[in-house]
Amino acid sequence: MVNRIHLISGLPRSGSTLLCALLRQNPRFTAAMTSPVASLCSSLHKKMCGSEFAVFFDDAKRAAMLRGVFDSYYADVQSSQVVFDTNRTWTGRATLLRALYPDSRIVCCVRETGWIIDSVERMLAKNPLQLSRIFGFQPGASVYSRVETLMNSENGLIGLPWSNLREAWFGDEAKRLVIVPYDRLVSAPQKVLRSLYDELGEPWFDHNLENVVYDEPDYDALLGMPGLHKVRQKVEHHARKPGIPPDLFTKFAHTHFWEKPELNVHGVRIL
């Protein structure tokens, strides 16, 4: 049974896999890249509310069933361990998480939109003979049309989690959020991790920042983007120039609401 759980969410290509790779060094923690738990909960929730069987469920039973998804998926995890479940949609379900796990926090990895787009484009360039599931395996599109797909607020790789994060940021459950900026995670990982441990009320564990290991080759191959979740062995900042047109950076330069103190109306914790 899952007794203590936190969620990892936020934006893609913003350090969530790196953060999981670091957290899983701690034997008390269970963490990995995107899990199917959120999707399973969505399917079950819909059946319990929108099917002919909805009359058989009250809120208490719905909550028990949804918690059962977590318990079943993490059945091999000891009850003394802390589970970190990763999915970019958790920020859109903050009120549901309050009902299921009142003490849970949502750790949100964030990064400038231009650099996220640039990271996706770099992965595509590294695999020119592959076509990505992210873009429907369509060949021949330009970076501009790909960006439109990425930024779609209903199903885009960037647009949907950005919209969910913004909703949670300004909502009543904002106090549940913990923001981890990518640049700080890679340039000052020790400081960020210590702050995260303090925020979650966990005893400190000495992480090895020189030997971080994580990879999901089968999942990345399914996406048509080999190496997408492969983590570098050493945590460090790599300075480079963007490879996308500068007008795309300019277009999304004002989307980083977490960097504006006047918009942090609920006092969200930023590490």
Q: What is the C-alpha separation between 271 and 142, in angstroms, rounded? A: 36
Q: Per the structure, how many domains does the chain have?
A: 1
Closest residue by Cα to residue 83 from 2, 151, 19, 139: 2
Q: What averages of pLDDT result for each successive group of 10 residues across the chain (271 residues)?
A: 94 96 97 94 95 93 97 94 97 96 97 95 89 84 93 95 97 97 97 98 96 86 82 88 91 94 97 98
User: What sign does the CA torsion over 103, 264, 19, 37 have?
Assistant: positive
| Domain with 233 in it | 4-270
* Predicted confidence (pLDDT) per residue in 49-104, tens digit: 998 989 999 999 999 999 999 999 999 999 899 999 999 999 999 999 999 999 99
Q: What percent of the chain has pLDDT over 90?
A: 78
> Within 10 Å of residue 6's Cβ, how many Cβ atoms?
25
pTM exceeds 0.85: yes
What CATH number is associated with residue 71? 3.40.50.300
Strand partners, 29: 82
CA angle 71, 77, 83 (to 5 degrees): 75
